[in-house]
Amino acid sequence: MLSIKNLHARIGEKEILRGINLEIKAGEVHAIMGPNGSGKSTLASVLAGREDYEVTDGSVDFLGKDLLELAPEERAAEGVFLAFQYPVEIPGVSTTNFMKSAVNEIRKYRGEEPLDAVQFLKMFKEKMAYVNIDQSLLSRSLNEGFSGGEKKRNEIFQMAVLDPKLAILDETDSGLDIDALRIVAEGVNKLKSPTNATIVVTHYQRLLDYIVPDFVHVLYKGRIVKSGTKELALELEEKGYDWIISALVD
């Protein structure tokens, strides 16, 4: 589904990704871990198309398309979804209006008829159940004054509505208490299918108790320095990152 080859990216003069290689197949869950500043969030942002980063080398193939050539909205329409670490507050736009615009723009891109109000109502009701989110929250200005947990649940609600092929969860566990974490993780698990894939970017192993990865990758200084199965995450939790880093010949 996703094939990243030798990806290099920088912000300003600072090179942050320095040759990422990663293959993801449909049905898989990959966890990207690593110490602060290793480039985890940059990788998530570059995949979603954030323009602050300049890709200097490498390629990203997503379902046969050159992902790096596409605008952020085109990537979304092709099926990429980024759950933000810090969801943006947008005063004056409700989640429902935001999602109606998004869904119908994506349908337009795909040459499909727009949904009407009745169809939206039905769909939203169904998707709200995934993350146990309340209608009143969806009618409020997007993320404005939301608690950390509400923001993250709202992200997963949006993910449920857009039904992406590739979901990238950027530090979705940050700022969540254990109950909120469980609700968010359950939502992600319910959305998992043999035809979609998930990238979980996280600093801590904690989230991976709930969203169990097929593969774990350790990112350090802009490269994947170790890959393994879910047991690697447990080992990292126990021993930290130093044992991997010190074994590297830089």
Partner 1 sequence: MATDTLVSISLGKEKQAAMDRFLAKGFPTNKWEEWKYASLKSLNDIDWNWNSSEIPANTIKTSIDASLHVQTLNGKFIALGTLPTGVEILEFSVFAQQNPAFIAQWEKRNQILDQNSMYDLNDALTTSHQVIWVKAGVTLDKPIVHQLLAEVSIASAIQSKLLIYIEKDARITWVDDLHTNASSEAILSNYVQEIWVEESAHLTFVKTQDFALKTTHIDHTFIYQQSNSQVDMFTFSINGGFVRNNLHFYVDGENVLSNLNGLYVPGNNEFIDSHSVVDHRKPNCESNELYKGVLLGNSTGVFNGKIFVRPDAQKTNAFQSCKNVLASDKATMNTKPQLEIWADDVKCSHGTTTGQLSDEALFYMRSRGISQDAAKTLLMLAFVQQVIDKVEIADLKESISNRVVAKMEQALSA
Q: Which residues of this chain interact with partner 1, rule CB under 8 A?
A: 48-51, 71-73, 75-77, 81-82, 84, 87-88, 90-93, 98-99, 101-103, 105-106, 109, 141, 158, 162
Does residue 68 contact residue 60 with C-beta atoms inside 8 Å?
yes
3-class state of residue 25 by DSSP:
coil
Task: Pick between residue 79 and residue 241 the one whose CB is nearest to partner 1.
Answer: 79
Task: Pick between residue 4 and residue 48 the one whose CB is nearest to partner 1.
Answer: 48
Phi, psi of 224 (to 5 degrees): -85, 115
> Which two three-digit tokens encode residue 228?
């393994």
Task: Pick between residue 90 and residue 212 the one whose CB is nearest to partner 1.
Answer: 90
State the Rg of the chain over Cα.
18
Phi, psi of 56 (to 5 degrees): -100, -20
Closest distance to partner 1 from the beta carbon of 4 (Å): 18
Closest distance to partner 1 from the beta carbon of 120 (Å): 15
Closest distance to partner 1 from the beta carbon of 77 (Å): 5
Closest distance to partner 1 from the beta carbon of 41 (Å): 13
The alpha carbon torsion through 207, 212, 214, 216 (nearest 10 deg) reads 20
Closest distance to partner 1 from the beta carbon of 63 (Å): 16
**CA dist., res. 69 & res. 165, Å (int):** 18
Kind plus residue range of the DSSP H or E element containing 23:
strand 14-24
Task: Pick between residue 21 and residue 104 the one whose CB is nearest to partner 1.
Answer: 104
Task: Pick between residue 89 and residue 134 the one whose CB is nearest to partner 1.
Answer: 89
Does residue 175 contact residue 11 with C-beta atoms inside 8 Å?
no
3-class state of residue 28 by DSSP:
coil
> Which two three-digit tokens encode residue 43?
């990788």
> Which two three-digit tokens encode residue 17?
């990704």
Task: Pick between residue 69 and residue 177 the one whose CB is nearest to partner 1.
Answer: 69
Closest distance to partner 1 from the beta carbon of 221 (Å): 26
CB count, 10 Å around CB of 165? 17
Residues 6+ apart with CB under 8 A from 184: 131, 149, 152, 153, 156, 172, 173, 176
Closest distance to partner 1 from the beta carbon of 246 (Å): 37
Task: Pick between residue 35 and residue 72 the one whose CB is nearest to partner 1.
Answer: 72
